[in-house]
Amino acid sequence: MKIGFENRVAIVTGAGGGLGRQHALELGRRGAKVVVNDLGGAVDGSGGSTSAAEQVAQEIRDAGGTAIANAASVTDLDAVQGMVDEIMAKWGRIDILVNNAGILRDKTFAKMEISNWHAVIDVHLNGSMNVTKCVWPIMVAQNYGRIVMTTSTSGLFGNFGQSNYGAAKLGLVGFMNTLRYEGAKFNIFTNAIAPIAATRMTMDLPGFEGSAERLAPELVTPAVVFLCSDKAPNGRIIQALGGKYYSADVRENVGVDLGPGATVEDIADNIETILDMTHNVGILERTPHR
């Protein structure tokens, strides 16, 4: 079955290069009207230019698609709202949001400046919230939306020197887990992609040497574009690595019921059972806490 996006309008943040560029190009190839959003800054978020976003938008147009460029920072709520207002005035709807914009300011926690904690959280987590907040009422009103959060294995499992990045990325999973419940009745499905790819953000990281072809960004894009489609699930995390696609989720085990009189010693006596994940309850088998 051919997956197409005719008459759909998509925003891809951080689409001036790397993963976002590939997502935007593929959505454009498949018929979506694409808003290529990119501040045009450095990997650490400094600086800015409209040229990166405009170049990708032109690539889409040159291939016969429809696209506009936008250089709003996802951290600037007023600028994001202005972008959304411009899209609505031009095309009258917003169907797809890929929250991809991000920066890196890696340091071990002991050496990290507090400002670099806030900067990374602001772009990844608050930036995704800003754009989602602006498009949410539009998606509710049209009874349709597809939102993709970009999480990371650094958030799911941790990574040395990335406490700020990991916290932001796992925060996006929590954000997704709530939106999947709140959006379902409006046909708004929210999912997450956890990519491993060779981009300018990863090129200097250990383990990425000589990985440009093996971990090409375009090998992540099929999963992202599927999550943007009518066939998308709701509330799932897909990992993508060099052509391999697999899932992750948050699980809890069956545990042990120690009753209301449980003591610290009871915990100590039963800790192996409490921590044993052999018998677990999957994400689709439980209902949310109230």
Per the domain annotation, does 2 fall within a domain?
no
Cα angle value 152/4/191 (rounded, 5°): 25
Per the domain annotation, does 14 fall within a domain?
yes
Mark whether 138 and 224 lie in a shared domain.
yes
Question: pLDDT tens for residues 118-171?
Answer: 999 999 999 999 999 999 999 999 999 999 999 999 989 999 999 999 999 999
Per the domain annotation, does 102 fall within a domain?
yes
Q: How many domains does the chain have?
A: 2
Specify the pLDDT at position 289: 46
Per the domain annotation, does 85 fall within a domain?
yes
Specify the pLDDT at position 79: 98
Mark whether 187 and 278 lie in a shared domain.
no
Mark whether 98 and 212 lie in a shared domain.
yes
Mark whether 279 and 260 lie in a shared domain.
yes
Mark whether 130 and 274 lie in a shared domain.
no
Mark whether 177 and 260 lie in a shared domain.
no
d(CA 256, CA 201): 44
**Domain containing 258: what range?**
251-290
Mark whether 284 and 150 lie in a shared domain.
no
Which residues are designated catalytic? 165
Mark whether 37 and 159 lie in a shared domain.
yes
The CATH number of residue 42's host domain is 3.40.50.720
Tell me if the pTM is above 0.85.
yes
Per the domain annotation, does 18 fall within a domain?
yes
Specify the pLDDT at position 232: 98
Specify the pLDDT at position 236: 98
Which regions of the chain are under pLDDT 70?
41-49, 197-215, 282-290
Mark whether 165 and 22 lie in a shared domain.
yes
